[in-house]
């Protein structure tokens, strides 16, 4: 077991979004510091991602639940209230969040889609290392409650806590709620995350700066590597520097900085749920 106090989890999100992403994930794992990937099970290149993951026995793979700005897994006729006119999840998360909370029929369809994504991941035969959500939608209490309830049926044992040092003050009460719910549900989680403030911009310089200033505890650094291409992977990613993020994951300087530290690389499977975990992490967010 990797000691939780000095564990570093290095995650690539959006595995399965495009073959450019999948090739980058495989390369960064084989030749760099990438330990973990979060799979968009309903995305266009998901099957290619699964095939690559099966050839990478040491790559930890989790479920990247998509409930905004992406493709659904459940039959459209069963989740009409969740989809836009194109049959996809929209990007107005504030509006959808209100509907999730107040409208029972929408919550019922939301639960159906969450279960469908868990079920699709289970059919891959991959071990479920963790669960997180596209655009951190599990900060929404309804979404998180449904994940915790449904996830029990599929071996859920770990989730991402999207708490980054310097998070806005207004966000901290939501983060505290997420932490408390994960702890009460006996779900392992990281203490801190790096990558939110510089989403799509985690180049070598950002990595080296982060490694010099990592907080004590279980830290996840996540990024969005992909091979260079002629077009953005999505409209919201038009300014992402995917190739620079891939270069950072395979950088000799980054690897050397990790080796020179007391950090050890691992996945969420290496994060134990200990009795003192909740007390330790609660104190850290209140300082």
Tens-digit pLDDT string for the chain (287 aa): 444 448 999 999 999 999 999 999 999 999 999 999 999 999 999 999 999 999 999 999 999 999 999 999 999 999 999 999 999 999 999 999 999 999 999 999 999 999 999 999 999 999 999 999 999 999 999 999 999 999 999 999 999 999 999 999 999 999 999 999 999 999 999 999 999 999 999 999 999 999 999 999 999 999 999 999 989 999 999 999 999 999 999 999 999 999 999 899 999 999 987 544 444 444 443 43
Structure tokens at 269: 């499977």
Q: For 186, which DSSP code? A: T
| pTM (predicted TM-score) | 0.92
Q: Work out the end-to-end distance of the chain between its first and last CA atoms, rounded to an integer number of angstroms.
A: 29
Domains present along the chain, CATH in parentheses: 4-286 (3.20.20.370)
- Collapsing DSSP to helix, strand or coil, 188 comes out as strand
Structure tokens at 169: 């003050």
28, 34 Cβ separation under 8 angstroms: yes
- Collapsing DSSP to helix, strand or coil, 2 comes out as coil
Distance CA 199, CA 12 (A): 11
Distance CA 228, CA 69 (A): 22
């Amino acid at each position: 077991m990797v000691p939780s106090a000095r564990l570093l989890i290095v995650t690539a999100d959006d595995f399965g979004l495009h073959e450019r992403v999948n090739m980058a994930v495989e390369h960064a794992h084989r030749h760099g510091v990438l330990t973990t990937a979060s799979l968009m099970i309903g995305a266009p290149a998901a099957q290619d991602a699964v095939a690559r993951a099966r050839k990478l026995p040491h790559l930890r793979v989790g479920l990247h639940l998509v409930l905004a700005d992406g493709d659904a897994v459940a039959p459209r006729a069963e989740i009409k209230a969740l989809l836009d006119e194109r049959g996809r999840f929209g990007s107005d998360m504030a509006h959808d969040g209100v509907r999730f909370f107040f409208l029972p029929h929408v919550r019922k369809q939301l639960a159906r889609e969450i279960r469908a994504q868990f079920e699709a991941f289970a059919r891959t035969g991959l071990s479920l290392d963790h669960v997180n959500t596209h655009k951190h939608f599990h900060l929404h209490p309804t979404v998180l409650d449904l994940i915790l309830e449904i996830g029990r049926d599929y071996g859920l044992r770990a989730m991402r806590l999207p708490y980054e040092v310097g998070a806005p003050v207004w966000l901290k009460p939501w983060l505290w709620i997420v932490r408390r719910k994960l702890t009460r549900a006996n779900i392992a989680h990281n203490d801190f995350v790096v990558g939110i403030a510089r989403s799509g911009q985690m180049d070598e310089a950002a990595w080296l700066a982060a490694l010099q200033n990592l907080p004590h505890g279980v830290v996840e650094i996540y990024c969005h590597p992909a091979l260079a291409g002629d077009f953005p992977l999505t409209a919201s990613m038009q300014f992402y520097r995917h190739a620079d993020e891939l270069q950072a994951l395979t950088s000799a300087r980054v690897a050397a900085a990790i080796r020179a530290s007391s950090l050890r690389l691992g996945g969420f499977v290496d994060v134990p749920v200990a009795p003192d975990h909740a007390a330790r992490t609660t104190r850290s967010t209140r300082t």
